[in-house]
């Protein structure tokens, strides 16, 4: 049996994989499970593993991550250029031929993230495999998922709270599930409201973090200091704020480099792992607005502030206040 699980929603993908494992009633499944790196896998290695007899069992589970991605079409830059296939030396047909005849004792699960409809290995294996696609949830689908997840945790939630949660967290279901768990526990039997989301969800602080990054990069000391104090008074830990600031400046630096290479917007989003349109738009905007020299200087200062906190030179709050003052001179 062959399963193909692919898509950017790795939360749902992992749940599906867990269901596959639980459907195999075998006490020795863990001893008969092999996980392979598909990016460097050879056909000989795969056949050796799949052809091996299971240990005191009827089934062997073979999981391959990243194999399908090796067969993604890569388009050369420039008009009129044809797509070139990034295939291993064996060619995808040899892989298809082997997988068509794998022993009944082996259950093969191929796991990958973003693929296209032009992937030749995916096309051919779809004829013989059970394929499940897990795109990032957006819009109405995301709202429905949130409601189902809250109900599953024995909670209830108002529609405005659902909409706000979707806006703040976006399509990252790992984070969403964690935030829902916190909200259900906090509500303790009553309905979750907008005020609860604003109070508890860590992502609610992101807009102010982005605004503070803007103020720091633009040397607007008054705005930066006010936003810093508002975040601290709202309960944000200095270490958390420093991580958020450093992460955003690092994103902007990477985005600026990718834009310099003329990488398309969708690829920038995938490379940075951004699931929220708000975060992507803000990052692209900041990459356009500020110079590389300014971004590098701010990032170095953030690293220095982190070091001063870890070595005990300054407290977290003092280090952040000094950082803002120095960068906004």
pLDDT tier at 79 (50, 70, 90 boundaries)?
A: very low
Same domain, 53 and 83: yes
Average pLDDT score, the chain: 85
Give per-residue pLDDT as tens, 50-77.
998 888 888 889 999 999 988 887 654 4
Poorest-confidence range of 41-55, 77-91, 93-107?
77-91
pLDDT at residue 309 tops 60? yes
Q: Which domain holds residue 231?
A: 204-327
Question: Looking at the domain assignment, is residue 228 inside a domain?
Answer: yes
Q: Which of 110, 133, 156 is the last residue of a domain?
A: 133
Q: Is the pLDDT of residue 237 over 90?
A: no
Looking at the structure, do residues 128 and 153 belong to the same domain, yes or no?
no
The CATH number for 189's domain is 1.10.8.60
Residues of the chain above pLDDT 70, percent: 91
C-alpha span between 187 and 315 (Å, rounded): 34
Q: What is the mean pLDDT of residues 302-310?
A: 85
Spell out the residues 6+ positions from residue 312 whose beta carbon is closer than 8 angstroms to its own.
none
Cα–Cα distance between 325 and 329 in angstroms, integer?
6
Residues 122 and 17 in one domain: yes
Which one of 167, 183, 200 terminates a domain?
Answer: 200
Length of the chain: 329
The pLDDT value given to residue 161: 95
pTM of this prediction? 0.61
Q: Is residue 62 part of a domain?
A: yes
- Does the residue 269 lie in any domain? yes
User: Would residue 139 count as lying in a domain?
Assistant: no
Report the pLDDT value the prediction gives residue 236, as an integer from 0 to 100. Answer: 65
Q: Are residues 22 and 124 in the same domain?
A: yes
Residue 302's pLDDT is 87
What integer pLDDT is reported at residue 158 of this predicted model?
Answer: 96
* 254/297 same-domain check: yes
Q: Are residues 233 and 172 in the same domain?
A: no
The backbone torsions φ and ψ at residue 252, rounded to the nearest 5 degrees and listed phi first, read -65, -40
Q: CATH no. for residue 40?
A: 3.40.50.300
Whether 155 and 223 map to the same domain: the answer is no
| Model confidence pLDDT, tens digit, residues 251-289 | 899 999 999 999 988 888 888 877 777 788 888 988 998
Is residue 30 located within the same domain as residue 124? yes
H-state helical runs in the chain: 10-23, 43-51, 92-100, 120-125, 139-152, 159-169, 173-187, 194-200, 206-217, 221-233, 238-260, 265-272, 277-289, 292-310, 316-327
Domain membership of residue 300 (yes or no) is: yes
Q: pLDDT at position 205, please?
A: 62
pLDDT score for 83: 47
The pLDDT of residue 143 = 95
In this predicted model, what pLDDT tens digit does every residue of 99-137 receive, in sequence order? Answer: 999 998 899 999 998 787 788 999 999 999 999 999 888
Higher pLDDT, 158 or 216: 158
The CA-to-CA distance between both ends of the chain, in Å, stands at 64
Residue 153: pLDDT above 70? yes
210 is a domain residue: yes
Residue 165 lies in a domain: yes
Domain annotation covers residue 138: no
pLDDT at 82: 45
26 and 110 co-located in one domain: yes
Residue percentage of the chain with pLDDT more than 90? 33
H or E element that contains 68:
none
Residue 261: give its domain's CATH number: 1.20.272.10
Give me the pLDDT at residue 5, please: 95
The pLDDT value recorded for residue 81 is 42
* Same domain (yes/no): 151, 211: no
My answer on whether 8 and 81 are in the same domain is yes
Q: Where is average pLDDT lowest: 20-34, 135-149, 178-192, 297-311?
A: 20-34
pLDDT of residue 31: 83
How many distinct structural domains can be found in the chain? 3
Quick one: 12 and 122 in the same domain? yes
Q: Given the DSSP bridges, would you call strands 83-85 and 73-75 parallel, antiparallel or unpaired?
A: antiparallel
The residue among 79, 98, 133 that closes a domain is 133
pLDDT digits (tens, 9 = 90+) for 176-203: 898 899 999 999 999 999 989 887 876 5
């Amino acid at each position: 049996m062959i399963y193909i699980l692919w898509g950017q929603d790795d939360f749902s993908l992992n749940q599906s994989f867990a269901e596959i494992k639980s459907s195999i009633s075998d006490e020795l499944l863990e001893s008969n499970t092999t996980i392979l790196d598909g990016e460097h896998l050879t056909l000989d290695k795969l056949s050796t593993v799949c052809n091996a007899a299971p240990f005191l069992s009827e089934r062997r589970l073979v999981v391959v991550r990243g194999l399908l991605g090796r067969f993604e079409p890569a388009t050369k830059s420039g008009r009129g250029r044809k797509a070139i296939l990034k295939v291993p030396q064996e060619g995808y047909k040899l892989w298809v031929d082997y997988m068509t005849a794998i022993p009944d004792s082996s259950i093969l699960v191929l796991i990958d993230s973003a693929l296209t409809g032009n992937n030749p290995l995916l096309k051919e294996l779809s004829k013989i495999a059970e394929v499940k696609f897990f795109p990032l949830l957006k819009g109405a689908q995301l709202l429905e998922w949130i409601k189902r997840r809250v109900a599953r945790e024995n909670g209830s939630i108002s529609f405005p709270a659902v909409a706000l949660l979707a806006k703040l967290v976006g399509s990252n279901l790992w984070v969403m599930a964690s935030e829902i768990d916190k909200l259900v526990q906090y509500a303790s039997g009553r309905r979750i409201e907008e005020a609860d989301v604003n109070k508890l969800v860590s992502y609610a602080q992101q807009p102010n973090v982005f605004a503070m990054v803007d103020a720091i990069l633009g040397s607007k000391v008054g705005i930066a200091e006010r936003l810093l104090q508002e975040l601290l008074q709202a309960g944000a830990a200095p270490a958390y704020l420093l991580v958020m600031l450093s992460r955003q400046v690092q994103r902007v630096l990477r985005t600026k480099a990718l834009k310099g290479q003329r990488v398309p917007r969708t690829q920038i989003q995938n490379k940075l792992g951004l699931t929220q349109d708000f975060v992507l738009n803000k990052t692209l905007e900041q990459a356009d607005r500020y110079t590389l020299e300014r971004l590098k200087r701010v990032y170095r200062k953030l690293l220095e502030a982190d070091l001063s906190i870890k070595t005990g030179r300054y407290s977290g709050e003092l280090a952040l206040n000094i950082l803002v003052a120095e960068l906004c001179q």
